[in-house]
Amino acid sequence: MTITTPHPPPTDSTLRACQIAKLLKIINENGNKLMEILLTGREIDPKDSTGRLISNEYHESSRNMIAGLGLMQNVVQVPGERLLELCGTYHEATAVHVLADAGIPDVLAEAGEEGMSGAELGKRVGIEPSKLTRIMRLLAANHVVKETAPNTFANDRVSSILVNNLPLRSYVRVADFFYPFGAHTRKTLMDPITGPSFSPWQTAFQGVMNTDKAFWEWLEETDEDGNKRPELETFGLGMVGHGKLHDRCLLFDYPWGTLGAAKVVDVGGGVGGFCMDLYEQFPELTFVVQDRPPVIEQAKAVWGERFPGYEKRVTLMAQDFFEENAVKDADVYVLRCVIHDWPTEPATGILAALTKSIPEHAKILLVEQVLQPTTTSPKSRYPIIPKNFGTYSRVHHIMDLTMMSSVNAQERTESEYRAIVEGAGLKVDKVWETRGPLSFVEIRRT
């Protein structure tokens, strides 16, 4: 009779060693693929003349790589050090806000590859040099800029995107504006009144700004002389900058070219940044851009400067999206990053109001971040990688908490979007994933 001794359970070290082996395979496999793509000139989608849209194969390998590297850090880094690192990320965000707000990338661009000393840089942008040098060194540690010599800095790949880029700088300034609300979120969550509330009037925003107004009401306030808040213009320009980061995938990962001479209504479209891209790419399309009256006034100036004669194809219209829509003959109604601004009940109300207006053949396109649960999404082909690609999806969940802290709204999963859509008497036809953080949720009448 043979007596077998059971194997002892694997130790934490053994499990981590196995994880490292699996992750090394993923990193090497996708790293080699990315090198091949780069060396053969296949990083950029050949359909995109601007050179800003990455190819599908680059997108797939890069997100696998980012997810693998993120999980590798979790496996190899001492847990306490990782927690301390995460606890201090607010300083890293602040450093990025200083970088953008002071226009530092533009100044560094003048210095070229050799860079500029912290002392000279501080004089140029009006920040105490020794303090600015410490901020720059933190940015260099995160590979946002590079330190080319002791206390000397130059643009790196990340900071270079901000050079002469006022819209993107404005978006970073918008993020800076929202930042204190995140710091106040813990207090809001623990409060017996604001914690369980989903009201836009009971968020961290009210606590920080000492106001009883919801964010959108506050943003449109004027002073006693009728002057608008400067944040309104920054917000509008920042949304254009945010759109520029992802506009190419939204143009090419949905079949706009099959719509012919369709009329497209951009509901809650801001100054119309998204339609500007469609306007240039698809000359048969006509557009109606709708938003609140102050935003539409701003849109007239933006469109007039960029596209003289835009009135032939574009109508700018004030519209309350909680009311029945004034345009009843369009083919497509787009709501880009609108539904995520609202809790479930008003979000359903927006779609219900639109249902009263759209013709039978029309479709509604929600352009939103569709969250992927870490365990139920079938996206990742590697069992060890979280199904939402882990670190790669950080920006989605950061935005989700931004919406919670400012307006008590949220990003949503596909099933949560379906619930809202069906609650408005509509149905989801298809979800179109793109090469960016946003997806198209295509909706029709039931």
Active site positions, annotated? 340
Residue at 246: amino acid letter: H
Give the residue carrying structure tokens 């600015």: 132
Mark 223-244 as b/e (b = at least 16 C-beta within 10 Å): eeeeeeeebbebbbbbbbbbbb
Q: Say which amino acid occupies 204.
A: A
Kindly report the number of other CB atoms within 10 A of residue 112's CB atom: 11
Contacts of 95 (CB under 8 A, 6+ apart): 135, 138, 139, 144
| Residues 321, 351: Cα–Cα separation, whole Å | 9
CA atoms within 13 A on the CB side of 266: 26
Which of 59, 69, 65 has the alpha carbon at shortest distance from 433?
59
Six-digit token string for 289 = 């851009």
Helices 166-190, 89-101: inter-axial angle, 10-degree rounding? 150
Distance from C-alpha of 367 to C-alpha of 238, rounded to nearest angstrom: 17
- Backbone torsion region of residue 104, taken as left when φ is above 0, otherwise alpha when ψ lies between -120 and 50, otherwise beta: alpha
Angstrom distances, CA of residue 413 to CA of 67, 388, 397, 424: 20, 11, 11, 17
CA-CA distance, 164 to 162, in Å (whole number)?
6
